[in-house]
Chains A and B, each alone.
Chain A
């Protein structure tokens, strides 16, 4: 079952930041990348990606520039800012603690 990423608050932002930590990417590419990396388990409503990008840009975690794609189309490329990179590290730590905690609760009998 493919889970909707936006169901879990904060997880969409985290995944976007992680995706951008590999390379700058445009919105459609981010969506594709998330699907590929999660082997289709994580799916997102494609449109809701953009408000999230907007929010992250407002928070100063990512920046954006207009560039051209391989087939020569203009596209908006998002990239991680230094503060975004720091935030990603912190978020991954706290997310892993959260996931471990959640797992421990669910495993307990």
Chain B
């Protein structure tokens, strides 16, 4: 095999280079010896003369060696690369201080990029483990009040039965609020478990890692299938990955469930970041969450997915579900919104939830851009430094070029060195990223459920980091390399200065510093806007919960209590809580304001107001409260009365409305005694009181229409206890839990937390943005300042002789400093102007992410340039001051 022979020869040349060189010497020596002996023998000359003639006939030994080396061809660049790498490593090792600083600053940039990319990868890029995901669609209930609503179980049944010709399979899932103890003294937190229909896993094409998945046969009789399938991670953490887990029992919601299997490692539910701990058959959902679910059209809580039959297009499927909705409207089904529609979205288009995806994508790309800029800053700093060094070596390089070294090989050597640098930094950066992600994963964020993202370093992430490192290395090395090897050999050799110093080359460094200043100004303006945003969001008065308050959410499941029994039970609990030390006021509410996960609303009409044409009714937020709530939450009854024991199921239905609603519908402002009409029920609500406004859905909202119903008349199985306390609310929350369990050992507590933590969730986006952007902004400012310091310092070093002359001619220190600082200041002004212009454009994109702060916030746009200017002045002044201390005698002797 010819290519085998050839490859072997090449490989030997490559691997045994020194040996090959040695052999070549030996071979040539042998040749010369043989020729010498032949000449002595045949031509009869003496040995010295024969030697001379043999050499002459052979020609230049080195030239032939080169020809032999070139003859290796093809792979010669590889052995050249080996040499370059070795030289590069030596060169880096010779300057440990520079190498350390360079690697560290690049590692900061690369590490930040890797960490952010890991997040983006986990949230956006990573593919779905679902089989043929392009065939799967998400189904939402599209209503006037909410575009991407969940379905009720009767809705699901109707869609399932009416779409058999377009969907090969359809499945529903429903989050079941189960709880886990967070650990000693940390209360109870929500653990998402999912109730799924039997078709769920077969439809998605998910196979069990151990045992089997839930199947249609596990989902037949209501409450009749106490079996559970574990999430892979939960199996690893709670069962230590026990391979014999199938058949074991675990307690779920107070009942023994049998484990039937474990999910595969790459499947963590279909909502990114919210991995269920385990799955139970849908037929167990009603029993577990305590709500009536199967027969109530209005209780929408199901996420529905379906697989399109082969060949069926999305519009065909949309027509089919549209027909189901139209039929429901025609049949005037109770609790079906006549304006309701079913909307389909391909699974692959959904990350988490369509309304949130917009923000997730925006935040992800914003972060990528920001960390990219930080890396660019780190690169420009080093490039600037390398450029200075390359210019200082201009003469040396010119000598190399004059002696015939090719420009390409010199550029390659410099590039190899910087690429090595950035690869080292890439390695350190991966370490940094792992640490940052660990910090993030263990950070105690005030999220309602634990977020589980697989932030592991997969091929995507490592490939990204490698690519970024190589790109950074090329970026770093290319400009200095090209600049210093510009083939103006004669000019460089002639140049008097030790440091080259052609004006065009200095311009490069200046341009880099201007770029840095521009970028850091843009980042700092962004950070400033988000800091202002956070400041604003913190100063918002939510209208409730201003004082230290503990919260505890619990259930009175319908499987244990009738509504009347549940009310008695709740009253006993609240009375017990009122006696706890430090507790000043106790109340309960079905769903505390500013809960982003769950909102309830009611349709209503008011006499004298034309119903809105699209929906046929006004919509108000609605909660059920127990009378103690208002005092405990700090919401005042500004008119009329609070609910009391006289409001019973058999008495007239009463409501309390928000001030905003009272002002809107009863112009005299006095709503007390007026009627609020309901759509489907005959007896209207009588307004007995008006409550002060509070934020309901978002901190930024203007006051909303809100209806409070008495718990005594309108039952709800889920209640949040609100306990205002004079002690540490953390401790009070634990005291509530302990007291509740003492009174009722089977009490189903979903969550304990403080009011501060509840409110912190709403401020989290602003808080995180402000924190992250500030961190990067400060990093950018520091890098830019170092860059400017370097440029001015370099200028000082180059102009030492000029400074000496100026001083010898009588210039005083301050004048020299002014001269040097002015040079740096010019760069600051140009960079500042460019940065401001860019920021004006860029911040427009931020508009939607800011909270009540104008994207052109004057304070930010004035304050940030001032900070940047001050930092830049300092960075320029420090080296300049050093130059002014130069003694003219010493300076003139330099060079």
Contact = CB atoms under 8 A, between A and B. Distances in A.
Interface residues of A, number: 27
Contact of B71 (A55, A60, A81, A83): A55
Contacts of A54: 67-68, 71-72
Given A46-B59, A59-B2, A60-B4, A28 B34 contact: yes
A32 B54 CA distance: 13
A58 B6 contact: yes
A52 B68 CA distance: 8
Interface stretch (B25-33, B527-535, B873-881): B25-33
B3 A51 contact: no
Interface string A16-35: 00000000001111001000
A92 interface: no
A39 interface: no
A58 B72 contact: yes
B28 A50 contact: yes
Contacts of B60: 47
Interface string A34-77: 00000000000111101110110111110100100000011110
Given A54-B71, A54-B72, A60 B30 contact: no
B51 to A, nearest CB: 14
B5 interface: yes
B9 A28 contact: no
A76 to B, nearest CB: 5
Nearest to A59: B6
Interface string B12-48: 0100000000011011101101110010000000000
B64 A83 contact: no
- Mostly, the A contact residues are helix
B71 A51 contact: yes
Contact of B27 (A27, A58, A63, A83): A27
B67 to A, nearest CB: 4
Contacts of B74: 58
Interface string B61-96: 101100110111110000000000000000000000
Nearest to B64: A47
B393 interface: no
B27 A51 contact: no
B878 to A, nearest CB: 59
Contacts of B72: 54, 58
Interface residues of B, number: 35
B9 A46 contact: no
A33 B71 CA distance: 23
Instruction: Identify the interface centre among A48, A58, A61: most chain B CB within 10 Å of its CB.
Output: A58
A80 B198 CA distance: 73
B597 interface: no
B5 A81 contact: yes
A47 B58 contact: yes
B9 A60 contact: yes
Contact of A75 (B30, B57, B68, B73): B30
Contacts of A32: 38
Contacts of B73: 55, 58
Instruction: Identify the interface centre among B33, B38, B64: most chain A CB within 10 Å of its CB.
Output: B64
B309 interface: no
Given A51-B71, A55-B71, A27 B31 contact: yes
B177 to A, nearest CB: 73
A67 B34 CA distance: 15
A74 B25 CA distance: 12
A51 B2 contact: no
Nearest to B8: A60
Contact of B1 (A52, A58, A73, A83): A83
Given A47-B63, A50-B28, A51-B71, A57 B9 contact: yes
Contacts of B67: 48, 50-51, 54
A59 to B, nearest CB: 6
Given A58-B10, A73-B30, A46 B58 contact: yes
Instruction: Identify the interface centre among A28, A32, A51: most chain B CB within 10 Å of its CB.
Output: A28
A63 B2 CA distance: 11
B5 A46 contact: no
A106 B61 CA distance: 39
B70 A51 contact: yes
Contacts of B6: 58-60
B234 to A, nearest CB: 60
Contacts of B9: 57-58, 60, 63
A51 B4 contact: no
B57 A46 contact: yes
Nearest to A66: B23
A76 B2 contact: no
Contacts of A58: 6, 9-10, 13, 71-74
A58 B3 CA distance: 9
A47 B35 contact: no
A58 to B, nearest CB: 6
A32 B6 CA distance: 27
A51 B64 contact: yes
A59 B58 CA distance: 24
B1 A26 contact: no
Contacts of A26: 27, 30
Contacts of B23: 66, 76
A106 B149 CA distance: 94
30 contacts: A26-B30, A27-B27, A28-B30, A28-B35, A32-B38, A45-B59, A46-B31, A46-B57, A47-B61, A47-B63, A47-B64, A50-B28, A50-B68, A51-B67, A51-B70, A52-B71, A54-B68, A54-B71, A54-B72, A55-B73, A57-B9, A58-B9, A58-B13, A61-B2, A74-B30, A76-B27, A76-B30, A83-B1, A83-B2, A83-B5
- List of 4 A-B pairs having minimum Cβ-Cβ separation, nearest first: A60-B5, A60-B6, A51-B67, A83-B2
Given A26-B27, A48-B64, A58-B71, 19 more contacts: A27-B27, A28-B35, A46-B31, A47-B58, A47-B63, A47-B64, A50-B24, A50-B27, A51-B64, A51-B71, A55-B73, A60-B9, A61-B2, A61-B5, A73-B33, A74-B26, A76-B26, A81-B2, A83-B5
